[in-house]
Structure 1
Amino acid sequence: MLILRKEKIVDPENIIDSNIRCIRIEKVIGQIDLVKQLQLNDVEITRETLVKIESGRQHIKLKQLKSIKKILIVDYDEILIK
């Protein structure tokens, strides 16, 4: 079931967002630090965009996902599977 939240559709089945947030916090990496590292890897992203991704209000782009995986040093399974 999709939920309408602040005029945005949120998919409760999407766990990528919460997994990224949990892994980032476990590795003690702040949002601003992650954004800076992503930007250094030629990923156009702002902190606001990362906040939206982590809260499930914005879908993640493939380039963002690949770079986040690389920066957090994790397998795709850790990001994609609950």
Structure 2
Amino acid sequence: MQKIRPDMDIGQNIQAIRYQCKLTQDDVIAKLGVMGIEISKSTYAKLETNRMNIKVSELVALSKIFDTDINAFFRGLL
């Protein structure tokens, strides 16, 4: 099985922003579900640890949940 290599390691930024918003992973997963994006806790954890690439729809939804600009996820990487 080929290991997925993320293009950019944005997981740490996602996690840091989630901490700033004082949300747990479960909180974020529940909010994503309300927005129609079903994701397991395991999959979400993989996003934050850069073991899985994030979908654009998930990135847009997270920017809404965290009330932040999408560019914040790429801070320090570009």
Q: Same fold (TM over 0.5)?
A: yes
Match of 1:39 in 2: 33
**Aligned letter for 1:8?**
K
Q: Does 1:8 align with 2:12?
A: no
Give the RMSD, CA atoms, in angstroms.
1.5
| Cα distance in 2 between the residues matched to 1:27 and 1:61 | 21
Q: Is the 8 A contact 1:20 1:79 kept in 2?
A: yes
For residues 19 and 8 of structure 1, what CA distance do their matches in structure 2 show?
22
> Could you say which structure has the higher strand fraction?
1
- Structure number with bigger Rg: 1
* TM-score of the aligned structures, taking structure 1 as reference length: 0.82
Q: Which runs of 5+ in 1 are unaligned?
A: 1-6
Q: TM-score, normalised by structure 2?
A: 0.86
Aligned-pair CA distance for 1:71: 0.3
What's the % identity of the aligned pairs?
A: 29
Which structure 1 residue ranges, 4+ long, deviate > 4 Å from structure 2?
A: none
- Offset of residue 14 of structure 1: 2.1
CA contact (8 A) 1:19 1:79 kept: yes
**Greater relative contact order (CA < 8 Å, ≥ 6 in sequence):** 2
